[in-house]
Chain A
Amino acid sequence: MANIFAFAEARNGELRKVALETVTAARKLADATGGQVHALLVGAPGIASKAEQLAQHGADVVMVCEHAGFTQYNPEATSAVAADRIKSGGFRAALFSTSAQGRDLAPRVAGKLRVGLVTDVTSVELSGDTFTAKHPINIGKVVSTISIAGTPAIVSIRPNTYAPVAKAKPGTVENVAPVGDPSAARVVVKELVTGSGGKLDLADAPVVIAGGRGLKAKENYKLVEDLADAFGNAACGATRAITDDGWRPHSDQIGQTGRLVSPDLYVAVGISGAVQHLAGMKTSKTIVAINKDREAPIFKVADYGIVGDAFEVMPVLTAAVKEARKGH
């Protein structure tokens, strides 16, 4: 029997989808050995109201740590309480998400506990005493299987690899105290700047529409946004060629040095398909490419390609998607 720890990520008082993914991955691991899932939820007073959702996705115990010092992400105090809980709970493994927050937390926790970790994993397995995880390396061109010697094994799960599965558990809520005073942390998030409200983020969107230099000029990026609007559940991304030119912020860049996305549908518009770009989107479930050059490398990874001028194809495609989604 092995109990598994899951960090339930929240931002601004809201649970993030990756929290449910992490709990789902933990549930699968725990079920393999008849163990329990203990989720940790950290936030400002009131965050306890989110515990129920974690129970519905398979948390046997939800540890809630509320403090005004957790109003914004508090890396030092959050990693301190996570490390403390992981240590005292005797867990076999501790799971985080490979989100911006989880990427920050997991190595801090491993550093505090002096144990090994594997980040950005696409699957985890516990068989007998051996804990292994699959971790893409070399921009996804090679996949490694890594074993972690010590206990607990710290891992962060790549977003969108474990779809949240509802599996109701009692979800006993346990209040836990922070370690030290969260308001006295040295590193302080002064402000959270959120983008234009309502727009889906790249990490969460089931559909991503991305544009590249083939769009010729900044104002033509609207073709990408229009198609995203037609889908209704889409976020917009970009290649380095156009973030470098300032058409889009760097936070929208997909690829080796940018964001990693794995949506159900990825539409590449005017994108050549350089390896560094493919590194960020190659694991998307369905890929569509629109490019006027039949030889463009993007067509090698695209499930469906249209050879054509984006300026001609995009308005027609946008109208057709609108039509198809009528009634949704």
Chain B
Amino acid sequence: MKIAVCIKRVPDMDVRFKIAGDGTSLDETGVKFDLNDFDAWAVEAALQLKEKAGSGEVVVLSLGPNAVQETLRKALSMGADRAVHLQADKIPFDSFVIASALAAELKDGGYDLILFGKLSPDSSNAATGPIVAELLDLPCVTAISRLDIADGRGTAKRELEGAQEIVEFPLPAVLTTDEGLNAARYPSLKGIMAAKKKPLESKPAALGEPTVKIEKLEMPPERAAGKIVGEGAAAVPELIRLLQTEAKVL
């Protein structure tokens, strides 16, 4: 089983973002970065499949500046076998550009599975995986919360609004991971040491023309300061009154 996992380095969301002077990018000073959660679940899924099969290879890929090597090392320390860094000055916003560069690298890799996260929290496109699948003409199942592979075929569960789909597909295939699929392991000390010696290949990304452009970034309107209606059950009548007369939702 040969599995590729595309992973992204994303900012920690627990900060107050500042728009940079150009008005179309964010100021990265003081922002911490880490492996996207959805991608950690994808790496975990790949490692579990390899462990179950007893053999195979897990390759992690990331497109971006040199800093993404740190993210690749993290995946290697979780247990991935080797890493590919596709160099770019910065991580493009454009999913189509990222997908095209990843697809070019993945095309002749002979992978049985190519895994992605469902979404990256910074650009919030949720598009890269299925675009790669189209570019490579591979079967694709998005946002999976369960996965079984046997005899060259897979079964996955997808969460919909108030329902789930049970989906079957042949290998090779592209999958994107949703929360609930697994719990990602933490790198062990041994894993961190081993990762230092694992192969990490770095080469320029094949970046095409952008298809979309960020024209402007702005902060969303602040919610008007709310009010504390009161304390305990005694505040309920006043809340009901406000919901009826002010918010008009009751």
Contacts and interface: CB of A to CB of B under 8 A. Distances in A.
Interface in A185-217: 186-195, 199-204, 206-207
Interface in B81-98: 93-96
B228 A306 contact: yes
A2 to B, nearest CB: 18
B56 interface: no
A92 B198 CA distance: 49
A106 B127 contact: yes
Interface in A137-192: 137-150, 186-192
Contacts, number: 279
A257 B247 contact: no
A103 B124 CA distance: 11
A320 interface: yes
Give the dominant DSSP class at B's interface.
mixed
A80 to B, nearest CB: 10
Contacts of B37: 257
Contacts of A258: 179
Interface string A101-129: 10110111011101111111000000000
Interface residues of A, number: 97
A302 B235 CA distance: 15
Contact of A189 (B145, B166, B220, B237): B166
Interface stretch (A24-32, A46-54, A307-315): A307-315
Contacts of B164: 192-193, 251
B5 interface: no
A186 B169 contact: yes
Nearest to B13: A139
B124 A100 contact: no
A107 B127 contact: yes
B217 A142 contact: yes
10 smallest CB-CB distances across A and B, nearest first, come from: A116-B211, A111-B134, A201-B162, A250-B180, A107-B127, A308-B232, A111-B131, A203-B161, A316-B233, A107-B130
11 contacts: A107-B130, A117-B96, A120-B124, A141-B220, A143-B217, A146-B213, A148-B212, A202-B161, A279-B13, A286-B249, A301-B223
